[in-house]
Structure 1
Amino acid sequence: MRVGVVGGGAVGLVTAGDLAAAGADVTLYERDALGSGATGRAAGICYDAFAGRMDAAVADRALARYREWGLLTPRPYVWVAREDGDGTAVRGQVAEMQRRGVDAETVTPAELGERYPRLRIDAVVAAGVARDAGTVDPDEVVAFLAERARDAGATLRTDTPVSLAAPTTVETAEGTAAFDAVVVAAGHATAPLVERVGVSLAVDTYRAQALVTAAVEGTLPSLYDATREFYWRPRGAGLLVGDGAHPATPDDWDREADASFVEATLDRVRAATTLSPAVERSWAGLCTATPDRDPLVGEVADGLWVATGWQGHGLMRAPAFGEYVARRVRGAPSPFAVPVAERVDPTRFDGDESFDPLGDPTADW
């Protein structure tokens, strides 16, 4: 079987590696360098803290593969609430996760403060902890997955922009190549690529921002503040902190973080900890969204497959959904023990839906 994969981020690389390992003749095309899109700008937080059946199963498989590959640094994932309503939600989420088999627990603010003395817990009303979580380094992930794919026999072509001449025909500056199947996992470029062959996808984009601080003292977990809506993870000796999502279009967005984001984010860190860190660097990245916040993963035309709409979770889910796509393309069963196909079916929308990528799911369609 000859398969073309368009997109050299984590999802495309896992898909290419799995297909090649199964005996397919695989060529992957990346218009720039491998991992130069959303993958390279990702936070690298990986957790299984999901109450939903499918989300928990996908996260569990992704974490298992990252561990198998030696890429996951174990680190608890903590989420906190500072308002009573949010606290009730956190406790309900943990209870449902436990029913799903997720190794999660609720802890009191005092217990959280004992574990992590650098946290300010005076305003915290509830906290959940997912113990099996961890972090990955995006650059290490890309390097490993590229070597894995090449070792399995895949051809990786970088600095090679492509278009689709037909659902299973890839066109480059050198000419066209016909395949038995084509998988487009090109982030925000996925929709315009498949649109040329008559496929419309219900996907939009938004701009997310992050910064890395200089070195900080003390031990901290990966953390999401559900009330103030920001996150961090230890990275090196500092913290990677993210927030600041804004609407953006692929043709007009700023890759540098806003000065207002940097200032507001540092204020949030100071309010949540006893730390006063300086900024080492900051940036912005482009994320894809769908009307219901579930990804678009599956076949959209005869032999043409897509994988996009990750809502900022592409790197975290890549080992699982890359495996899923590779199996589906070959006609093999899904790797998940729970139903997934209908939930992520890219044809579940008409493709012309209007929605706010930062709003509530299904609010506008």
Structure 2
Amino acid sequence: MRVAVVGGGVVGLVVAGDLAKRDADVVCYDRGELGGGSTGRAAGICYDAFADPVDAAVADRALARYREWGLLSTCPYVWVARDDADARAVRAQVDRMQDLDRAVAHADGEALTDRYPALETETITAAGIAHDAGLLDPERVVELLARRARDAGATLRPETPVSLATGETPTVRIPAGPERFDAVVVAAGPATKPLLAAADVDLALKTYRAQALVTTPVEATLPSLYDATREFYWRPHGDSLLVGDGAHEVSPDEWTRDADPAFVESALERLGDATTLAPTTARSWAGLCTATPDRDPLVGQVADGLWVATGWQGHGLMHAPAMGEYLTCALLGLDYPVDAPVEARLDPTRFDGTETFDALGDPTRDWE
């Protein structure tokens, strides 16, 4: 089978490597540098702390593959609540995660203070700790997955913009002319929707912009942490912290890669309220994420010879090893090694593409 993969981010590179290892003839295109889109701007937090059985199974598989590749460094993931409503939600989440045999525990402010003295814990009303969580370096992930794909025989073509044309699928148009394939996989992040629209496929997909900053060095031992009440997160980043939030819906054609000054000020203020630290900003940026009406990805076949993988809701890097493997198995007719009803959850044809929804609205089910 000859397959084109459009998109050289982490998902596209996993698909390219997995297909090539199964003797497919694979060409992976990216309009820029490999990993130069959403992958390169990802936070790199990974955990299996999900209360939904399908989400938990997918995350478990993704973490297992990252460990197999030597890419995951261990770092607990903590999420905290500071009001009664959020506290009830956190406690219920931890209970459901434990029912799914996740290595997750309840915690309170006193326990967190003993473990992480730099945390401000007086206002914490409930917390959970995911012990099997970890961190990724997006640049290192891209380097290893690109090498893995090449070693398996895939051809990688960065700096090669492509287009699809009505009636010519599976044909990829590049500056040198059209190239025909048995199948085309589009895993191009926010560019996926317009690429498929040219092939008369409408996706229920929206784009939102998320922001992050890296602080100056801090002298503290901290976990990765999500504050459900103050609505921001951080993760250790070398001897600094990467702090993220500032999400809002945008057009994929009209956005800035620079973080907003208001986000930087707000993020540092919330970090100061949540810790005993007072760092400044070393650098900051913004990146794009994709969303669907039900906050589940769109992964699978959308037309004859045409496949899609998008709509990660910020979890693309985290779930890429499992989702790339799932798409590979679906394309080749192989059994997927995850014991969960993944296909129905991910079916990209479950929407007709005309849906109206808020990319940052409340989820229809609990993802944390």
Q: TM-score, normalised by structure 2?
A: 0.98
Structure 1 Cα separation of the partners of residues 114 and 254 of structure 2: 46
Q: Which residue of 1 aligns with 2:192?
A: 190
Query: What secondary structure does 1:96 align onto?
Result: helix
Q: Which residue of 2 aligns with 1:129?
A: 129
Q: Which residue of 2 aligns with 1:82?
A: 82
Q: Which residue of 1 aligns with 2:280?
A: 278
Offset at residue 356 of structure 1 (A): 1.1
Structure 2 Cα separation of the partners of residues 228 and 62 of structure 1: 28
Query: What secondary structure does 2:199 align onto?
Result: coil
Q: Which residue of 2 aligns with 1:324?
A: 326
Offset at residue 319 of structure 1 (A): 0.5
Q: Which residue of 2 aligns with 1:45?
A: 45
Structure 2: runs of 5+ lacking an equivalent? none
Q: Output the amino acid matched with 1:186.
A: A
Query: What secondary structure does 1:325 align onto?
Result: helix
Structure 1 Cα separation of the partners of residues 331 and 173 of structure 2: 21
Query: What secondary structure does 2:353 align onto?
Result: coil
Structure 1: runs of 5+ lacking an equivalent? none
Q: Output the amino acid matched with 2:17.
A: G
Query: What secondary structure does 1:88 align onto?
Result: helix
Query: What secondary structure does 1:312 align onto?
Result: coil
Output one character per residue of 1:98-153: Cα deviation in whole Å (capped at 9) or x when no partner.
Answer: 11111000012100110000000000000100000000000000000000000000
Say if 2:234 is the partner of 1:207: no
Offset at residue 362 of structure 1 (A): 5.9
Query: What secondary structure does 2:147 align onto?
Result: helix
Query: What secondary structure does 2:33 align onto?
Result: coil
Structure 2 Cα separation of the partners of residues 296 and 335 of structure 1: 19
Structure 2 Cα separation of the partners of residues 100 and 167 of structure 1: 42
Output one character per residue of 1:271-304: Cα deviation in whole Å (capped at 9) or x when no partner.
Answer: 0000000100000001100001000001000111
Structure 2 Cα separation of the partners of residues 150 and 43 of structure 1: 26
Q: Output the amino acid matched with 1:39.
A: T
Offset at residue 247 of structure 1 (A): 1.4
Runs (4+) of structure 1 exceeding 3 A deviation are none
Q: How does 1:331-342 map to 2 (within 5 A)?
A: 331-342=333-344
Q: Which residue of 2 aligns with 1:92?
A: 92
Say if 2:349 is the partner of 1:347: yes
Q: Output the amino acid matched with 2:164.
A: L
Query: What secondary structure does 2:214 align onto?
Result: strand
Offset at residue 196 of structure 1 (A): 1.0
Q: Which residue of 1 aligns with 2:298?
A: 296
Q: TM-score, normalised by structure 1?
A: 0.98
Output one character per residue of 1:295-325: Cα deviation in whole Å (capped at 9) or x when no partner.
Answer: 0001000111000000111000101000111
Offset at residue 13 of structure 1 (A): 0.1
Offset at residue 167 of structure 1 (A): 2.3
Structure 1 Cα separation of the partners of residues 256 and 3 of structure 2: 34
Q: Output the amino acid matched with 1:289.
A: A
Q: Which residue of 2 aligns with 1:244?
A: 246
Q: Which residue of 1 aligns with 2:162?
A: 162
Offset at residue 221 of structure 1 (A): 0.2
Q: Output the amino acid matched with 1:153.
A: G
Q: Which residue of 2 aligns with 1:361?
A: 363
Structure 1 Cα separation of the partners of residues 262 and 147 of structure 2: 39
Structure 2 Cα separation of the partners of residues 277 and 63 of structure 1: 31
Structure 2 Cα separation of the partners of residues 322 and 335 of structure 1: 12
